[in-house]
């Protein structure tokens, strides 16, 4: 008997695929910041659910359609991610703009807008080119998993799987110095969060875990946004006062992120 604290992985995957298809439709009509963000998040959630399924036993063979779906999802996620990053960076510039840095801020914002226009064209091209293939591969995936659609997963087990997956996919060092490794921790926390969030709302333990992953993800995301923006500002403006402001924010965000990682490991 299914309890209120049991997840239904296949049913959840179907719901997430439906949400993704809706997000694609909206984005094709108007790739606004909100629509692009929804698209990227939707691809991530489907990928997270596939990661969860890869840890379950007793599922029917579904590797072939899953492999194709993952390949196409990655294309969409990267294209949407490029735009989303530019949108976030533009917001950060506006947040830090002052009278003395207005000229530099405007120059940087204009450059980012040009990049967004190009990235938007790229995203729409990818969506139009691959939408049908992605739909077919996702339908094939659901069909392959259909016999297991009633399978349930206790929320406690789901939380443990999310935690174990996170632990085994982050650097072994207590506090890595490498930028790529720090970025990897953030991305791993995001995927683990999406796995844990598939637990029913009544399941407090995995939901609390999901909130912890989200907090770590956001602190890492803040650092990474300032890191990228600092690099862009230096490239476009040199060692300007605005660039220095971004670097200071990046340094502060990195310190906070490192403390967060240490606290999370503890």
Task: For residue range 164-219, list pLDDT tens digits in order.
Answer: 999 999 887 767 788 999 999 999 999 999 999 999 988 989 999 999 999 999 99
Which CATH number belongs to the domain containing residue 124 in this structure?
1.40.20.10
- The sign of the CA dihedral 139, 38, 126, 28 is positive
In a domain, 1, yes or no: no
Task: Report how many domains make up the chain.
Answer: 1
Task: For residue range 35-53, list pLDDT tens digits in order.
Answer: 999 999 999 999 999 999 9
Angle CA 77–59–161, to nearest 5: 65
Host H or E run for residue 96: helix 63-96
pLDDT of residue 4: 64
Task: For residue range 94-143, list pLDDT tens digits in order.
Answer: 887 777 788 899 999 999 999 999 999 999 999 999 999 999 999 999 99
pLDDT of residue 159: 95
In a domain, 39, yes or no: yes
In a domain, 176, yes or no: yes
Structural domain harbouring 201: 6-265
């Amino acid at each position: 008997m299914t309890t209120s604290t049991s997840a239904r992985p296949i049913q959840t995957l179907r719901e997430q695929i439906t949400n993704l298809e809706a997000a694609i439709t909206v984005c094709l009509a108007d790739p606004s910041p909100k629509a692009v963000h929804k698209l990227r998040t939707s691809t991530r959630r489907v990928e997270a659910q596939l990661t969860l399924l890869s840890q379950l036993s007793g599922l029917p063979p579904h590797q072939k359609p899953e492999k194709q779906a993952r390949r196409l999802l990655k294309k969409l996620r990267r294209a949407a991610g490029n735009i989303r990053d530019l949108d976030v960076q533009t917001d950060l510039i506006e947040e830090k703009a002052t009278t003395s840095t207005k000229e530099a801020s405007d120059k940087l914002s204009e450059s980012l807008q040009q990049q967004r226009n190009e990235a938007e064209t790229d995203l729409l091209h990818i969506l139009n080119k691959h939408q049908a293939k992605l739909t077919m591969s996702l339908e094939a995936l659901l069909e392959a998993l259909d016999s297991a659609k009633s399978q349930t997963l206790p929320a406690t087990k789901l939380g443990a799987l999310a935690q174990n997956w996170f632990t085994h996919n982050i650097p072994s060092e207590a506090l890595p110095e490498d930028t790529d490794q720090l970025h990897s921790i953030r991305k791993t926390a995001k995927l683990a969060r999406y796995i844990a969030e598939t637990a029913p709302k009544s399941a407090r333990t995995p939901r609390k875990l999901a909130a912890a992953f989200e907090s770590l993800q956001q602190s890492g995301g803040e650092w990474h946004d300032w890191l990228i923006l600092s690099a862009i500002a230096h490239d476009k403006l040199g060692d300007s006062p605005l660039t220095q402001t971004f670097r200071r924010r990046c340094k502060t965000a990195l310190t906070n992120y490192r403390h967060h990682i240490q606290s999370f490991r503890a």
